[in-house]
Amino acid sequence: MSTAKNTLKQELEAGGIRVLSAARNELYIDMRFMGAALSSLSFEMDLSTTSVGTDAVAIRFNPSYVIRLFVEEPGKLNRTYVHMLLHCIFRHMYLSERFDDERLFDLCADIVVESILDGFDYQSISRVTSDLRDKWYERLSSDLRVLTVEKLYRYFSLGSLLDDELLYESLEREFALDDHSFWLRLSDQDSDDKKDDKKDKPAPPDPDDMDAPSDNTGDKGDREKDNNSNKPSQGTSASGDENKKREKYINPRRLKAMRDREKDWDKESKRLETEIETIGKEKSDRLGKLSWILKLQNTSRTDYKEFLSRFRIISEESGIDMDTFDPAMYTFGLEHYGNMPLIEENEFREVKKIKELVIAIDTSASCKDELVQRFLDETAAMLFTTDSFFQKTRICIIECDDRVQRIETINSADDMKTYAEGIHVEGGFGTDFRPVFDKVDELLRTKHFENLKGLVYFTDGYGEYPERPTSYDTAFVFLKDEDYNDEKVPSWALKLYV
C-alpha cells in the first residue's frame, strides 16, 4: 500500500515537472530575453498549496492543479509562470515582510504584475482583459500614473475604496494567479534578528517536519499547511478575521536559501533592464512598461545629507572650538587666581558647511499638487537640517513653471522656519527650466552670491533644459516612486533620486 502511494506521488510529481518544463520551453522560444530568469527557478511538488507559487528559490506546485491547467488553459499556465517570475524580479516576496496588511500587499503586487503583463505583446501569455480590469487600470493610471506596490498600498490604505468586501474579493479574483503563502511576512520570525522588537514567536516546527528531506518532495516542513486562504485559482478569498493567517514557520535552511537568492534576483533585474535597452525599440515596445518599471525599481535613492556635503565650504563660525581649547589651563587659572582663566576659549571655530545654495521647485501643470507638496516637504526637510548650514547663510528658493513665479531668500535659521511654515505654491502652467538658470546668472552678476556652489532643482523632468553648462554644480532631483522623465537631463548636470 505504501509502495503504491509513493509510486503515485512520484508519477504526479513527474507529471507536474513535465508540464512546467513544457511551459518554460514555450516561453524560452517566445521571450528569449527572459532566458536567464526562466532557468533560475527549480520545480518542487508541494501539497501544502492548492495551486502554484514561488519563494524565489523554486516553483512550488500542486501537481493536480498544474496538470489540469496545462490541459484546459495552457495559455494561463504560461502567464502564471511569467507572473511568478515578475514577482521574483521585483522581489515582492522580500518586500512583503515590511507591510502589516498581507492581504492588501498581495493584491497590490498582483495588480502591478498583471498591469505589466497586459502591456506585453506575446501570444503565449495573452488574455482578453475584462471590463473590471480596464476600469481599474484607467482609474489607477489617472490617480497614480506609475503603478508600484508601495504607491498602490499607500493609495488603498489612505482611501476607503476597499471598504466594500465584495469589491475587494472581485479584485482578488481578477488579478491573483499564484499562491503567495511562501513569501516572507512581517509576522515571520527572521533568522537574522531583523525584528528584535517583535514579542510574538512563530509557531514551533513539527519535529517530523524538521527531518523532512530537502529534495523535490516539496519541503513540507517549510510552512504549515494553512494556505487555504489564498486560492486564486478557485476564486476564493478570505475576509475579516478569516483573512488573518496564522503565523507560518519557515525551515531555517529554506530561509537561508531565500535570503541568498535575493541578491541574485537583484542582479537579474538589472541584467534584464540592460537587456531590454539593447534589443531595439521594436522588440522593447512589445514589453510595454516593463523597462520603465525596472528602471524605477533599480534606481538607488540618494541620502540628501550626504549629497549636500558637496556644496560645503570651510569658513569660520562663532562658537567654542574645543579642538583648540585647553580645559586644564583654563581650570587652573580659575582655581588659583579667582575669576581669571589663564587661557580664554576660542570664540570662533573653523567648520565645513553650506553657505550659499539655490533650491528650485517645479510648479508646472505636469506636476500634480501632491507631487509639488512632496517637493516642498523635501525642501523644508533640507532647511531644517541646521547642521548642514552656517548660522548666517544665503539660500535662494525659486518657484518656476515656464517662468519664475516666486523668489524667497533665506539668511538665517529663523528665516528657514518662517518659510517652511508658510510654504505655498505659485504657478501651474508649462515647464521650462531655463528661466531659473537665467535668474541665477542675473543674481551672480549683481553679486547676490559670493561663492555659489550649487543648485538643486526638484522636478518631474518634463520640460526644456538649458544647453550651456553652469559654473556651479547643478542637480535635478526626482522622487523615485513618482512619474518622471530623466532622459533629457544634460550630461553636465547630476541626477538624484530621493
pLDDT of residue 71: 94
What is the spatial distance between Cα 302 and Cα 480, in angstroms, rounded to a whole number?
10
Which set of grid coordinates corresponds to residue 428? 501651474
Contacts with 71 (C-beta within 8 Å, 6 or more apart), sequence order: none
Q: Residue 313: phi, psi to the nearest 5?
A: -130, 160
287-292 contact pairs (CB < 8 A, 24+): 287/119, 287/120, 287/121, 288/116, 288/118, 288/119, 288/120, 288/121, 289/115, 289/116, 289/119, 290/116, 290/119, 290/120, 292/146
pLDDT of residue 408: 85
Mean pLDDT (whole number) for 83-103? 94
Pairing of strands 473-478, 454-458: parallel
Range with lowest mean pLDDT among 131-145, 184-198, 306-320: 184-198
- Which one-letter DSSP state was computed for residue 179? B
* 368 or 362, greater pLDDT: 362
pLDDT of residue 235: 39
What is the spatial distance between Cα 362 and Cα 60, in angstroms, rounded to a whole number?
48
CA pseudo-torsion sign 172, 175, 233, 104: negative
Range with lowest mean pLDDT among 19-28, 107-116, 235-244: 235-244
* 357 or 62, greater pLDDT: 62
Q: Which residue has the cell 518656476?
A: 400
Strand-pair partners of 179:
53
Q: Which residue has the cell 517637493?
A: 375
Range with lowest mean pLDDT among 21-35, 62-76, 416-430, 476-490: 416-430
Q: Are 489 and 459 in contact (CB under 8 A)?
A: no
Based on DSSP, count helices (H) and strands (E) in the chain, helices before strands. Answer: 18, 12
pLDDT of residue 477: 85
Task: Indicate the average pLDDT of the chain.
Answer: 78
Pairing of strands 230-231, 348-362: unpaired
Residues 49, 53, 54: CA angle, nearest 5 degrees: 125
Q: Are 397 and 457 in contact (CB under 8 A)?
A: no
Mean pLDDT (whole number) for 378-387? 62
pLDDT of residue 231: 43
User: Any idea where the domains of the chain sit in the sequence?
Assistant: 2-196+203-224+244-296, 304-319+354-497
Cβ atoms < 10 Å from Cβ of 453: 17
Q: Which residue has the cell 515582510?
A: 97
Q: Is the pLDDT assigned to residue 351 strictly greater than 80?
A: no
Range with lowest mean pLDDT among 279-283, 322-326, 485-489: 322-326
Q: Are 237 and 172 in contact (CB under 8 A)?
A: yes
The CATH superfamily label for domain 304-319+354-497 reads von Willebrand factor, type A domain (3.40.50.410)
pLDDT of residue 415: 73
Query: DSSP readout, 404-473?
Result: EEEEEEE-SHHHHHHHHHT------S--BSHHHHHHHHHHHHTTS-SS--EEEEE--S-SBPPSSPPSSE
Q: Which residue has the cell 475576509?
A: 239
Tell me the pLDDT tens digit for each residue of 254-288: 899 999 999 999 999 989 888 887 776 666 677 77
Q: Are 441 and 342 in contact (CB under 8 A)?
A: no
Instruction: Choose among 272, 328, 369: nearest CA to 35.
Output: 272
Strand-pair partners of 348:
318
Mean pLDDT (whole number) for 228-251? 47
Residue 175 banded pLDDT, cuts 50, 70, 90: very high
pLDDT of residue 72: 94
What is the spatial distance between Cα 114 and Cα 163, in angstroms, rounded to a whole number?
22
What does pTM read for this prediction? 0.65
Q: Which of 67-71, 148-152, 344-348 has the highest mean pLDDT?
A: 67-71
Which set of grid coordinates corresponds to residue 183? 513569501
Residue 388 banded pLDDT, cuts 50, 70, 90: low
Instruction: Choose among 405, 473, 396, 401: nearest CA to 434.
Output: 401
| Burial class of residue 130, CB neighbours in 10 A (0-12, 13-18, 19+) | exposed
Strand-pair partners of 361:
399, 458
Mean pLDDT (whole number) for 92-119? 94
Mean pLDDT (whole number) for 85-111? 94
In percent, the amount of the chain with pLDDT more than 70 equals: 68
Q: Which residue has the cell 526637510?
A: 381
Tell me the pLDDT tens digit for each residue of 426-472: 655 678 899 999 999 999 999 888 888 889 898 888 889 999 999 88
Contacts with 96 (C-beta within 8 Å, 6 or more apart), sequence order: 102, 105, 106, 109, 180, 183, 184, 185, 186
Q: Is the pLDDT assigned to residue 386 strictly greater than 50?
A: yes
Mean pLDDT (whole number) for 295-323? 62
| Burial class of residue 2, CB neighbours in 10 A (0-12, 13-18, 19+) | exposed
Residues 355, 360, 363: CA angle, nearest 5 degrees: 155
Q: Are 455 and 440 in contact (CB under 8 A)?
A: yes
Core vs surface per residue 262-281: b (16+ CB within 10 A) or e: eeebeebbeebbebbeeeee
Residue 411 banded pLDDT, cuts 50, 70, 90: confident
Residue 105 banded pLDDT, cuts 50, 70, 90: very high
Which set of grid coordinates corresponds to residue 22? 513544457
- Which one-letter DSSP state was computed for residue 14? H
Contacts with 351 (C-beta within 8 Å, 6 or more apart), sequence order: 314, 315, 316, 317, 390
Q: Is the pLDDT assigned to residue 220 strictly greater than 50?
A: no
Cβ atoms < 10 Å from Cβ of 318: 10
